[in-house]
């Protein structure tokens, strides 16, 4: 059975702002699906439709087999909102986490037990007496996720669940999603974070900036579709000039390099040769190559430093404290590389 079946679903907000266009999608029960799309592509809108918060402007939407959205069906679907504040309203975190279970008819004692289990699972026991409104963004997100877990739904709609989380919490979130998946839950995660999609989902769809589905398939394949990801604005090419040349690469996964002329078109072998001669006329080949390389190393140093930190967090989360510390040290030391790159550039 399918949790959701969408045929030709479109949605326009008041004032005619298009948010989704002719979306066809079937999500079988038990599947974990990632909805990829850049800001404004329509991911949140899609999740609102799946939760019955909005009704489609056109098309047909079936939930658990038919078109009606009964309260009991709604209760089977838990949503983590992109903005956690939107779903937190109790005086304390404990109250917040007991609210759902109490609504579902559990007694005080059982509801409290469930809330405590969830706080332990999410590592937020220390927040029990705090006001949800005074928490950091990441803490708030965990509490919001806790409110979803507290009612034990069959379907999870997670809207940008990792945004605002520190690296360790991101890894924990991915692990939690994997566990939910193994427990047979249906999980739909909206994100523009490409790094986690293979871990959390077997299948992904890409929504383009035109609000249509650009691709639908196994996550491992989607992640390699550079053209689609570029078109959907999920990866970017950054271009920078080197002596009349532009050096372009897409910015996720492998760095594939291509040379283009400054006008944007691919340059021919002959033009490249002329360009090279121009270069060589001015400087030795070693200098010319190093100039390009050093600029490249400099530009990516800060970003690599962030990656070291991210992996330090991941290693730490797996209990590899020593390795985590070494990776943090590499990140700290990368400031020194900046200096050395500048020094090398000045010696060219
Ligand atoms: N309440 C609203 N009123 C009008 N337009 C909206 C509203 N919410 C979202 N939109 C527009 O709908 C489109 C899709 O938005 P959204 O679903 O939030 O995208 P995403 O979650 O992928 O960032 C965007 O162009 C956005 O500006
Ligand atoms: Mg959104």
Q: Residue range 44-73: average pLDDT?
A: 94
Q: Which position has the token pair 């196994």?
A: 218
Angle between helices 108-122 and 93-103 (to 10 degrees): 130
For residue 20, how far is its CA from the centre of ligand 1 (angstroms)?
A: 9
Query: pLDDT tens for residues 31-50?
Result: 999 999 999 999 999 999 99
- Using one digit for the tens of pLDDT, what is the confidence trace for 243-257? 444 444 444 433 333
Question: Is residue 316 pLDDT above 90, yes or no?
Answer: no
Residue 37, ligand 1, Cβ within 6 A = yes
- Per-residue pLDDT for 271 more than 60? no
Which ligand 1 atom sits nearest the alpha carbon of residue 37?
22
**Cβ atoms of residues 23 and 9 within 8 Å:** yes
| Per-residue pLDDT band at 238 (split at 50, 70, 90) | low
Closest Cα partner for 20 from 190, 161, 208? 208
Residue-level pLDDT at 283: 62
**What's the pLDDT score for residue 305?**
74
> Does position 177 have pLDDT exceeding 90, yes or no?
yes
191 lines ligand 1 (CB under 6 A): no
Residue range 121-153, pLDDT digits in tens: 999 999 999 999 889 888 999 999 999 999 999
Atom of ligand 1 nearest to the CA of 47: 17
Residues 6+ apart with CB under 8 A from 87: 79, 80, 81, 144, 147
For ligand 1, mutation pick of 17, 36, 37, 53 (most atoms within 8 Å of CB): 17
**All structural domains of the chain with their residue ranges:** 2-231, 237-346
Q: Map residue 156 onto helix, strand or coil.
A: strand
Distance 46 CA to ligand 1 centre (A): 10
Q: Which residues contact 135 (CB under 8 A, 6 or more apart)?
A: 93, 127, 143
Q: Ligand 1 pocket test: which of 45, 54, 189 has the largest number of ligand atoms within 8 Å of its C-beta?
A: 45
Q: How far apart are CA 332 and CA 341, in angstroms?
A: 16
pLDDT at 274 over 60: no
Instruction: Output the pLDDT for position 315.
Output: 84
pLDDT-based confidence at residue 328 (cuts at 50, 70, 90): confident
pLDDT attached to residue 263: 43
Strand partners, 245: 242, 261
Q: What is the second-level CATH architecture of the domain 2-231?
A: 3-Layer(aba) Sandwich (3.40)
Q: Are 235 and 252 in contact (CB under 8 A)?
A: yes
Provide the pLDDT confidence category of residue 298 given band limits of 50, 70 and 90: confident
């Amino acid at each position: 059975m399918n949790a959701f079946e969408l045929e030709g679903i479109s949605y326009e907000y008041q004032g005619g702002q298009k948010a989704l266009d002719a979306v066809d999608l079937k999500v079988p029960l038990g599947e974990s699906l990632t909805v990829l799309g850049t800001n404004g592509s329509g991911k949140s809108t899609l999740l609102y439709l799946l939760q019955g918060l909005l009704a489609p402007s056109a098309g047909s939407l079936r939930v658990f087999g038919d078109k009606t959205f009964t309260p009991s069906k709604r209760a089977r679907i838990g949503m983590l909102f992109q903005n956690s504040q939107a779903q937190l309203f109790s005086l304390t975190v404990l109250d917040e986490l007991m609210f759902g279970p109490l609504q579902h008819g559990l007694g005080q004692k059982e509801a409290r037990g469930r809330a405590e289990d969830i706080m332990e699972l999410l590592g937020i026991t220390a927040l029990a007496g705090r006001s949800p409104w005074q928490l950091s963004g990441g803490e708030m997100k965990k509490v919001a996720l806790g409110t979803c877990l507290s009612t034990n739904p069959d379907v999870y709609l997670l809207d940008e669940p990792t945004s605002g989380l520190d690296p360790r919490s991101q890894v924990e979130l991915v692990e939690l999603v994997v566990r939910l998946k193994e427990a047979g839950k249906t999980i739909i995660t909206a994100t523009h974070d490409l790094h986690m999609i293979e871990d959390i989902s077997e299948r992904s769809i890409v929504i383009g900036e035109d609000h249509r589905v650009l691709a639908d398939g196994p996550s491992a394949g989607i992640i390699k579709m550079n053209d689609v990801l570029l078109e959907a604005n999920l990866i970017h090419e950054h271009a920078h000039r080197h002596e009349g040349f532009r050096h372009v690469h897409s910015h996720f996964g492998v760095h594939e390099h291509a040379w283009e002329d400054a006008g944007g078109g691919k340059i021919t072998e002959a033009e490249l040769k002329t360009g090279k001669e121009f270069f060589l006329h001015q400087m030795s080949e070693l200098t010319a190559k190093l100039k390009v390389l050093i600029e490249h190393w400099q530009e990516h140093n800060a970003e690599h430093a962030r990656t070291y930190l991210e992996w330090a967090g991941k290693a730490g989360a797996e209990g590899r404290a020593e390795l985590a510390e070494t990776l943090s040290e590499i990140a700290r030391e990368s400031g020194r590389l900046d200096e050395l790159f500048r020094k090398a550039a000045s010696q060219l």
